[in-house]
Amino acid sequence: MTWRATALTLFPDMFPGPLGQSLAGRALEQGLWSVEARNLRTYGIGRHRVVDDTPFGGGAGMVMRPDVVSAAIRDVGREGRPLVYPTPRGRPLRQDDVRRYAGGPGLVLLCGRYEGVDERVLEAEQVEQVSIGDYILSGGEMAALVLLDSCVRLIPGVMGSEASGTEESFSDGLLEYPHYTKPASWEGRDVPDILLSGHHAAIAGWRQTESETATRMRRPDLWAAHLARTGQDTGGPVSLAADPERLH
């Protein structure tokens, strides 16, 4: 069954955009997923197809009208697909959400512009609000593409090796260990000896330590959650075998 995405946007030509290339592009050609971009302007008011208006309460910028946005939403057959509005006001998007979205029938994505969408339509249509980071984009299309990319690569048959989906950052709540390839020595920097040892258990142990150290140093939020999950309440058993200077 094809995983279906519908984007509601003022800029339909932005889809599939970069997702027409590489892994996602091949999967699109193979029919493993599809994306339809619907122009919100179609649902605009009057001869000029107006989609926005000034904010009640004053202030800069324009707000997308609830009547226009709801008309677009109601015209889409959701067919069990979550309706997601990417917004900096949303909860942070996590790999768990991505797995849930990728495991379902697809997504409907509402792409905001201007100051965003009238709050009432978000409530009325039970829209999930997710943020892709603590910074402001000029529109929701790029965020929608990011979200789609993260989902599409998890659709069965899209990634070459299924293992690469289960061993990466966040799959066990930790950041991933660092990677090295040939040459073994490059500009005076050598690959850690252990990776050349052929000793699989020792390599696995080294990678686990690297994962834990990177998570502790770069993502205290993830580290705290990991400690709580594994029943540890201090910095505990993590050795700083990794070079902290490398982890900037």
Annotated binding residues for S-adenosyl-L-methionine, written as ranges, equal 112, 132-137
CA distance 198 to 196: 6
Nearer to ligand SAM by Cβ, of 1 and 136: the residue is 136
Determine which helix (DSSP H) or strand (DSSP E) holds 209, and give its type and residue range. helix 200-218
Q: Helices 95-102 and 140-152: crossing angle, nearest 10°?
A: 70
**Residue of the chain from 1, 60, 136, 201 that contacts ligand SAM (CB under 6 A):** 136
Nearer to ligand SAM by Cβ, of 136 and 201: the residue is 136
Nearer to ligand SAM by Cβ, of 122 and 195: the residue is 122
Nearest distance from residue 90's CB to ligand SAM, in Å?
Answer: 6
SS3 50: strand
Nearest distance from residue 139's CB to ligand SAM, in Å?
Answer: 5
Q: State the chain's maximal CA–CA distance in angstroms.
A: 72
CB 69 within 8 Å of CB 118:
yes
Query: Residue 138, interface with ligand SAM (CB under 6 A)?
Result: yes
Which string of b and e fits 128-143 if b means at least 16 CB within 10 Å? Answer: bbbebeeeeeebbbbb
Nearest distance from residue 115's CB to ligand SAM, in Å?
Answer: 4
Give, as ranges, the residues between 86 and 125 that touch ligand SAM (CB under 6 A).
Answer: 86-89, 111-113, 115-116
Determine which helix (DSSP H) or strand (DSSP E) holds 151, and give its type and residue range. helix 140-152
Give, as ranges, the residues between 167 and 226 that touch ligand SAM (CB under 6 A).
Answer: none
For 64, what's the count of Cα atoms within 13 Å in the CB-facing half-sphere?
26
Nearer to ligand SAM by Cβ, of 116 and 226: the residue is 116
| Amino acid identity for residue 28 in this structure | L
- Write the binding mask 46 to 85 for ligand SAM: x where contact by CB under 6 A, - elsewhere: ----------------------------------------
Nearer to ligand SAM by Cβ, of 138 and 239: the residue is 138
CB 128 within 8 Å of CB 91:
no
Nearest residue to ligand SAM, using CB? 112
Residue ranges in contact with ligand SAM by CB under 6 A: 86-89, 111-113, 115-116, 131-133, 135-140, 143
